[in-house]
Chain A
Amino acid sequence: MGGVSVDSGGKSGRRSVDSELNLIPMIDLFVVCVLFLIMTAVWSQMARIEANAQVPGPPRTDEEVEKVEPEKMLTVEMKQDDRFVLIWKSGATVHATSEVPRKGQPITLGTETVMRYPDLATEIAKQWKEYGSHQNDNDRKVDQAIISVDNRAPFSDIIAVIDAIYTLKRTYKGAEINAFQVTFSAR
C-alpha cells in the first residue's frame, strides 16, 4: 500500500508516533478529476463578431414623425478585387470618398491561412477622426459602418473586413468599446 511515513521517534519501547498517510484514495480522486476534466475540456476556442441589422419598425400613426438630420455613415464597398472604396455620407449627401488598395496580410496559424487588412483598418481610423459623429467619451451611440459586398464574395472576406472595422476602439465612460457598429447593405 502506498503511504507516507512520518518518522518522529518511537524508540526505547514507547508507543511509536509514526503515522502513515494513506495516499491511495487521494490518487484515486486525482485520477477521477483528471479524467472528468479531460473529457469535458473544450479545446477549440470559439468567439463571435457582431453585426446588426437596421430593420425599420412598422410606422406608428399616433406619433408625429420627428425630422432628424441623417447621420454620417461609413460605407465600405468591397466590390472590386483590387481596392476598397470608403464613402462617408449622410442620407444622399456624400462627404468624402477614398480608395484603399486591397492588400491583404496573410497570417498562417497551423494549417490555416487567415487574411487580414491592416491598411484598411488604419485608413478607417484616420478618417473616423475627421468624419466620425460619435467620438465623445459620454456619447453612448456609435458610428454606423455599412458593408457593401459583392454577392459572390466568400464569407471569410466579410469577416476580415468587419474585423478591420472593429480594430478601431473608442472609450465610453472610460470603458473601451468599438467605434463602429456594422451592418450589411441590402443591395
Chain B
Amino acid sequence: MARGKRKFEHSMIQKPGRRLMHKVPLRFVQNKVSGGGARSVNTSLALIPLIDFFVVVVLFLLMSFSASGEIPVDKNTKLPSAENTLDMIDAPVVAITGTNILVDGSPAGSTRPIEDSGRLQKIDDLHNILKNKRELWKQLNPKAESPGVVVMQVDHRVSALVVKSVFQTAAFAGYPNVSFMVGQLPKTKKGGEH
C-alpha cells in the first residue's frame, strides 16, 4: 500500500466509501462482496426517526387511553351536548332509540303508548327490569346502600313527554338519580368565548 494512502487512512477525516468487509485483506474478495465497483444494492434504513415516531404515537395513545372503555351508542342516536358536565359512571344505561326503550341493550318497552296517549305514563316493562336490577345489586352488595343512579341515553329529538315518563319510571323503580348522557362541549372562558 502506498505511503501517502496509509497516511490518509490514519487521519481523523476519512474518505467516505464502502466499508463492507473492509477487514478482509484480499482485494478481490472485497470487490466481489461490495459490488465490484458497481453501485451497491445494500441500502441502510434510518431507524432512529421511525423509532422516534413510534414513541410519540405510543405516548399520545397512552395519554388518551381510557381504561373504562366506551359505552356503545346507537348509530341513529345523536346525543345533545353540554358544557357543565360530569365524568361518566358505571350504571345501568336506559337508551331510547327510535320507539324502543332498552336497558343495557335489552328491550324494556316502547315509547309508542306514551306518544299516543299524550300524557305521562309509567312504563311497566322498564319498571320491572330496573327493579330486578336493583334487587340483584342489593343481593350482591347487602351492606352497601344503592346509589340509585341510572344513565339515560336519549336522542336529541325525543320529546320531553317521553323523557319525563322514562325519568319518573326510573325514579319509582328505585333510581331517583338520573344522569343524561351528553357530548362534552369545550368550556367557555370568562369572557364567554369558547
Residue ranges of A at the interface with B (Cβ–Cβ < 8 Å): 2, 4, 23, 26-27, 30-31, 33-34, 37-38, 40-42, 44-55, 107, 109, 112, 114, 116, 118, 149-160, 162-163, 166-167, 178, 184, 186
Contact = CB atoms under 8 A, between A and B. Distances in A.
A41 B176 CA distance: 32
Contacts of B58: 30, 33-34, 37
Nearest to B192: A118
B83 A163 contact: yes
Contact of A48 (B118, B158, B179): B179
A59 B171 CA distance: 17
B11 to A, nearest CB: 13
A44 B73 contact: yes
Given A48-B151, A149-B164, A155-B157, 11 more contacts: A27-B50, A33-B54, A37-B62, A42-B69, A47-B182, A48-B88, A50-B86, A154-B158, A155-B80, A159-B82, A167-B84
Contacts of B84: 49, 163, 166-167, 178
Interface residues of B: mostly helix, strand, loop or mixed? mixed
A93 B60 CA distance: 57
Contacts of B182: 46-49, 159
A2 B49 CA distance: 13
- Residue of A149, A150, A158 most packed against chain B (CB within 10 A): A158
B49 to A, nearest CB: 12
A46 B178 contact: no
Contacts of A34: 54, 57-58, 61
Contacts, number: 169
> Which 3 A-B pairs rank lowest in CB-CB distance, beginning with the nearest?
A53-B171, A37-B61, A47-B85
Contacts of B70: 42, 44, 46
Nearest to A151: B161
A166 to B, nearest CB: 4
A61 B85 CA distance: 40
Contacts of A4: 47-48
A30 B161 contact: no
A14 to B, nearest CB: 13
Contacts of B57: 34
Contacts of B163: 155, 158
A186 B163 CA distance: 11
B185 A48 contact: no
A149 B160 contact: yes
A38 B62 CA distance: 10
A119 to B, nearest CB: 11
A54 B182 CA distance: 22
A184 B80 contact: no
Contacts of B154: 155
B81 A114 contact: yes
A52 B176 contact: yes
A30 B83 contact: no
A23 B52 CA distance: 12
A151 B160 CA distance: 5
B87 A158 contact: no
Nearest to A50: B179
Interface in B145-194: 151, 154-161, 163-164, 167-168, 170-172, 176-185, 192, 194
A177 B188 CA distance: 17
